[in-house]
């Protein structure tokens, strides 16, 4: 897969993730009676905790490695740029999957909470 194709695939995955997240947020708002801002605040808190626990170390290692690579005088050319771009895109794709997964888990939790708060209509919620 060439770099342009990889970027296209990554962009499509990110767009799909955003669309799914947006639909889930709307559904959670309908079921819980929360405003979009309230639901987003709750999701941001949940995702922030997930990022702190799961991805912060990965991002720190990646940043540290990138800084070392930039400081290496032997890598002052563009020769290895292709493989470096591939590494960055692979990491971005992995992080996008993790963020979408965390958002889905948070949406599921919020949905379950909304169902628990509305016991009379829990059977009506798909």
Q: Is the pLDDT of residue 23 over 80?
A: yes
Model's pTM, two decimal places? 0.37
Q: What is the Cα gyration radius of the chain?
A: 19
Residue-by-residue DSSP string for the chain = --HHHHHHHHHHHHHHHHHHHHHHHHHHHHHH---HHHHHHHHHHHHHHHIIIIIHHHHHHHHHHHHHHHH-GGG-SSTTHHHHHHHHHHHHHHHHHHHHHHHHHHHHHHHHHHHHH-GGGGGG--
pLDDT in tens, 90-126: 788 888 888 888 888 888 888 888 888 876 654 555 5
Q: What is the mean pLDDT of the chain?
A: 75
pLDDT in tens, 41-77: 887 777 667 776 556 677 667 767 766 666 665 655 5
Short-list 89, 100, 118, 120, CA closest to 31? 118
pLDDT in tens, 41-51: 887 777 667 77
Are the C-beta atoms of residues 24 and 103 closer than 8 Å to each other?
A: yes
Domain ranges of the chain: 3-73+80-116
């Amino acid at each position: 897969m060439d770099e342009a194709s990889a970027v296209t695939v990554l962009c499509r995955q990110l767009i799909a993730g955003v669309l799914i997240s947006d639909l889930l947020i709307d559904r959670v708002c309908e079921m819980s009676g929360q405003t979009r801002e309230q639901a987003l605040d709750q999701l941001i808190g949940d995702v922030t905790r997930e990022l702190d626990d799961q991805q912060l170390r990965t991002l720190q290692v990646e940043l540290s490695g990138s800084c070392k690579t930039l400081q290496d005088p032997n890598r002052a050319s563009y020769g290895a740029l292709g493989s470096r771009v591939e590494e960055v895109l692979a990491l971005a794709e992995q992080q996008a999957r993790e963020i979408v997964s965390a958002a889905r888990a948070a949406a599921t939790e919020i949905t379950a909470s909304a169902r628990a708060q509305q016991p009379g209509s829990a059977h009506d919620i798909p």
